[in-house]
Structure 1
């Protein structure tokens, strides 16, 4: 015969051991941060917590859900689970969620509108308490529908007008790259701009273009192209840029590190040496950026913090509060991919 396991430790177990009413024990162990002192006296709080730790008490999430009418589930929608930048955001979300007794359901939408809608509907069918969108598009049509249905949500990574979002200040990041390249004397530059429906690509490219415009330099149309945010997109976009001109630019700005990596591959295919013949800059400061044969100049975005703050804002909405969007300041990380390449006269 197998061993008989010990019965689970319940609120009743603790109450009987301590000679307290079950409701008193429950108030102590389930009080929100800052409310514990109103649950019982300090001595009682210490006794309850000490015994709960000794006996290994764990709250029953199903019972809690029934009491509060909450599922304690948060859905997180991101374009790609394989993206290291998005993975850092998700880690921040999960870390902050765990601290608040929440669980997360993370799913990929591949940036496909029909799949985004299907994943959102699936989340709503799971009766999640709220949603964090990491794949919002600027038109905000789906978000308007979710808002009308009363489910709280927050955006991370990307913004859409009128909805609370936590993002890097992508516009400022784009200007940082432009100011750096202008300082090195690069006037013939190209932009691999990402998707036109995502605020990340829009804001980063616009910040870059505005800085050049302020310097009296307007980029010609053949030096600007949209593409997917990944390596393949960056490779194809850079190849197009090279095909559309008689000579390559002296510098390329790609709005993600992945697209920058693709750009490096396209340049290599043409025998153009990054860091010597041409400067290349990215955005994101992914782990591989510093490990490339020619380390990549890029913009560091506080992705982990973005995830944490996004969950914190959602928590405030779930408590019935009001929140405002946050834009976190980026940091330019300068490496050899731009410092060694000299602009052409």
Structure 2
């Protein structure tokens, strides 16, 4: 009777050290986030051996030895939002270069979902958290701080918490000044979620610039939405275009809202960029490739992701980094200048 096949022996650091003819500690450094102290040739030889022999690092065991899991949690509302997907992509890339892995969770901007996903992350002994779904009144950042877990907010901001974001009030002002310079006077705002800093600050900057120029925006021309999606933009702009005196221009606090507004402008029989001007925010890649390219306020999404990892690593090293505000830039296209 044939004996059952034996499972292959697990490749360990000792196995690699034997084949590479170096000490186990040299192998550990070569495969770790900081291979200083050994030559690049030795580090490359060990890594090639690890790949060839099928070595798999035991993150849990490494965490028990070092007190670090080298895992970073990232909370986002939803990765179907390509703005957040772009930020997460740069976070993951920067984390990988620093020797960390990331685990991302969609919270759907729902407190119960956020709590469940955060608890799951904490059970994996993550080293820190990047929060991209903060709301006014949200306690997640406070709870992490009370537990001594480093965290950084990205894109959205909360007063008193370290964050990387865009100067959104200035971004709103840039959009208002552009539309006013073009001669628009009856301008509407699709303001997004009124509990999120991005919607609040972008709208505040826009309204302030209009008021200071002597053309305050009428209350019925400011419409909030439950989120920052295409459907919300379509519904809000449909409501605006149905007004007896409809606006000649619309500012939306997110490009996805602007994409929805395009449909409502078309459905109202208006010509985009000629009859109704439209400005979005974030300058997603799609904005420049639409049949009528969208004027948008550019956010440096990749830079936000990289900086958020840098700030988190500073905290992990015992530092206390200050919040960063990146400058916005208006990109003018055919939805405002045909």
Question: TM-score normalized by structure 1?
Answer: 0.87
Q: Whole-Å Cα distance in 2 between the matches of residues 268 and 182 of structure 1? A: 23
Q: Whole-Å Cα distance in 2 between the matches of residues 197 and 236 of structure 1? A: 19
Q: Whole-Å Cα distance in 1 between the matches of residues 337 and 183 of structure 2? A: 11
String of CA shifts for 1:2-54, please: whole Å, max 9, x gaps: 99999776543565567654335545654737xx2xx36xxxx2553253245
Alpha-carbon RMSD across the aligned residues, in angstroms, is 2.4
Q: Which residue among 175, 178, 197 is the counterpart of 1:177?
A: 175
Further displaced range: 305-314 or 45-54? 45-54
Q: Give unmatched runs, 5+ long, in structure 1.
A: 341-345
Change (3 A) 1:237 1:186: same
Change (3 A) 1:54 1:231: closer
Give the SS at the match of 1:150.
Answer: coil
1:60 CA displacement: 2.2
Give the SS at the match of 2:165.
Answer: strand
Tell me if the contact between 2:20 and 2:46 (Cα under 8 Å) persists in the aligned partners: no
Aligned to 1:23: 25
Aligned to 2:45: 51
Q: Whole-Å Cα distance in 1 between the matches of residues 238 and 101 of structure 2? A: 44
1:135 CA displacement: 0.5
Change (3 A) 1:5 1:48: farther
Give the SS at the match of 2:93.
Answer: helix
Aligned to 2:264: 266
1:146 CA displacement: 2.3
Q: Give unmatched runs, 5+ long, in structure 2.
A: none
1:94 CA displacement: 0.8
Question: TM-score normalized by structure 2?
Answer: 0.89
Aligned to 1:323: 321
Q: Whole-Å Cα distance in 2 between the matches of residues 157 and 207 of structure 1? A: 17
Q: Whole-Å Cα distance in 2 between the matches of residues 291 and 235 of structure 1? A: 20
Count of residues in correspondence between the two structures: 331
String of CA shifts for 1:81-132, please: whole Å, max 9, x gaps: 1011111001001101111222211111111222222222222222211111
Aligned to 2:34: 32
Q: Whole-Å Cα distance in 1 between the matches of residues 197 and 113 of structure 2? A: 19
Aligned to 2:233: 234
Tell me if the contact between 2:188 and 2:251 (Cα under 8 Å) persists in the aligned partners: yes
Q: Which residue among 132, 141, 164 is the counterpart of 1:134?
A: 132
String of CA shifts for 1:186-216, please: whole Å, max 9, x gaps: 1110100001111110111111111112212
Aligned to 2:255: 257
Q: Residues 1-345 of structure 1: matches in 2 within 5 Å? A: 10-13=12-15, 15-16=17-18, 21-27=23-29, 30=32, 32=34, 36=36, 39=37, 45-46=39-40, 48-56=42-50, 60-62=57-59, 63-227=61-225, 228-243=227-242, 245-340=243-338
1:141 CA displacement: 2.3
